[in-house]
Amino acid sequence: MVDPMHYILSTQCQVKPGMMENFLRDVQQWEEKAMESPHAPEYHAVYLQRTNPSHALIVTQFVNQEQAEAFGESGLLENFHNRVMACAMDATAAEGYDLYYGIGSAGPRVVFGEETGTGH
C-alpha cells in the first residue's frame, strides 16, 4: 500500500525594514497554536538568507493534503497570513506541493510518497 504523499506549503516573502523582531515573534506564537491543533503540521520552518535576512522562505509540511486542508479549515493558515505577513512585503501566495521524490545520503527514500526502505 502506498503511503499518503506528504503535502508542503511554501511561501516566500521579504520582511519589512524594522519588522524582523515582530515577524519572528509572530511566527513563534503562531507555531505554538499550530502545533496544538489536532491537524498540526509535521514540520514548520522559516529560512532566512544569510546575506539578506529580510528574505524569507516559509515551509510547512503535512502528512498529506487532507491533513493540510483540515488544518486550513481551523483558520490557522488564514491567521498566519493576516498576522505574520503583515510584517512582510512582496509575499507570494502559499503554494502547495505533493512530495514526489526525496533522497538522502543512503539513496532515494521516497518516491511518490512511498517509503523505499533505504536511507533509514
Do 82 and 94 meet the contact criterion of CB atoms below 8 Å apart? no
C-alpha 109/C-alpha 88 separation (Å) is 35
Distance CA 109, CA 40 (A): 23
Cα–Cα dist 113/119, whole Å: 14
* pLDDT class of 94 with cuts at 50, 70, 90: confident
Distance (Å, rounded) from C-alpha 67 to C-alpha 56?
Answer: 24
pLDDT at 2: 44
Class for the domain spanning 7-96: alpha beta
Q: Which grid cell is 7?
A: 503535502
Reduced to 3 states (helix: H, G, I; strand: E, B; else coil), residue 101 is strand
Of residues 102 and 116, the one with the higher pLDDT is 102
What is the model's pTM?
A: 0.78
Radius of gyration of the chain (CA): 16
